């Protein structure tokens, strides 16, 4: 599979598949394709994994596109201004991403649910409570809101991130939710009640314009 990512702030990834090569995606992600691409809707991984994908913000079913007879072309466009990143997934290098981040992948990549382990993270983590895990083997394409900033955390090195800004992380990174300290900071600071703490080792990808923040801004504008 060959691919190119283009489009600046509204990117699209165009994939060129060899005959009988396939890709998987969530419903509605395909933007255009050559006429020899054939689609089959399936519950990849069985009922259990299909239900898990539903809880992680994706559809229970995935679409499988296969190039029949000759080389095929298929394009997947971003649903929000930002970036599309190609991530190489291997059995020893899975990635954990925000829900709805998954765009498309080679057939060998598996999408499953990922829970934060601690109760506090689950109760107060907001959109970060349930995330996606990309495992298996192959290239995966993920959507990131706005631009992306990468950090490689050393063992034991920590960083505090406002909820919603964590786009992806390597599975070796641990995370938890902690409350903002001080009553004045909580009620007057305007930054929310909780932050996400990530601890290395491993890489984290931080997005600069979470869609949740945009929705909050728009909601506040309409309520004025």
Tell me the pLDDT of the chain (224 aa) as tens digits. Answer: 999 999 988 999 999 999 999 999 987 789 999 999 999 987 655 555 555 545 544 556 789 999 999 999 999 999 889 999 999 999 999 999 988 889 999 999 998 888 765 545 444 444 456 788 999 999 999 999 999 999 999 999 999 998 789 999 999 999 887 776 554 444 444 455 678 899 999 999 999 988 766 665 565 555 55
How do 130-136 and 95-98 pair as beta strands? antiparallel
Judge whether 103 and 29 are in contact, CB under 8 Å.
yes
User: What strands, in cross-sheet order, belong to the sheet with 102-106?
Assistant: 37-42, 62-67, 22-26, 102-106, 138-145, 82-89
Q: Are 131 and 114 in contact (CB under 8 A)?
A: yes
Helix %, strand %, coil % for the chain, to 5? 15, 50, 35
| H or E segment and range at residue 71 | none
Confidence at residue 156, expressed as pLDDT on a 0 to 100 scale: 97
Tally of CA atoms within 13 A in the half-sphere of 182 that contains its CB: 6
Residue-level pLDDT at 108 = 94
Q: What is the model's pLDDT at position 125? A: 47
Quote the pLDDT of residue 185.
Answer: 45
Q: What is the pLDDT of residue 184?
A: 47
What letters, b where the CB count within 10 A reaches 16 and e where it falls short, cover 28-64?
Answer: ebbeebeeebeeeeeebeeeebbebbeebbbbeebbe
> What's the pTM value of the predicted model, to 2 decimals?
0.81
Closest CA to 199 of 150, 133, 155: 155
- Ordered by where they begin, the domains of the chain are 2-217 (3.60.160.10)
């Amino acid at each position: 599979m060959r691919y190119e990512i283009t489009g600046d702030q509204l990117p699209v990834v165009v994939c060129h598949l060899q005959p009988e090569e396939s890709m998987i995606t969530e419903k509605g992600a395909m933007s255009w394709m050559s006429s020899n691409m054939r689609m089959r809707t399936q519950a990849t991984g069985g009922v259990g994994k299909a239900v898990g994908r539903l809880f992680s913000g994706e559809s229970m079913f995935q679409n499988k596109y296969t190039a029949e007879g000759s080389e095929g072309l298929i394009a997947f466009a971003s649903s929000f201004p930002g970036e599309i990143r190609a991530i190489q997934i291997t059995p020893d290098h899975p990635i954990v991403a925000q829900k709805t981040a998954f765009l498309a992948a080679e057939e060998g990549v598996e999408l499953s649910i990922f829970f934060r382990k601690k109760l506090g993270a689950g109760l107060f983590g907001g959109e970060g409570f349930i995330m996606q895990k990309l495992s298996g083997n192959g290239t995966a394409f993920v959507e990131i809101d706005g631009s992306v900033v990468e950090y490689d955390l050393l063992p034991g090195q920590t960083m505090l991130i406002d909820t919603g800004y964590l786009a992806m992380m390597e599975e070796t990174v641990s995370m938890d939710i902690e409350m903002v300290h001080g009553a004045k900071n909580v009620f007057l600071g305007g930054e929310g009640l909780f932050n996400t703490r990530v601890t290395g080792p491993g890489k984290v990808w931080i997005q600069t314009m979470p869609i949740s923040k945009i929705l909050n801004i728009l909601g506040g504008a309409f309520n004025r």
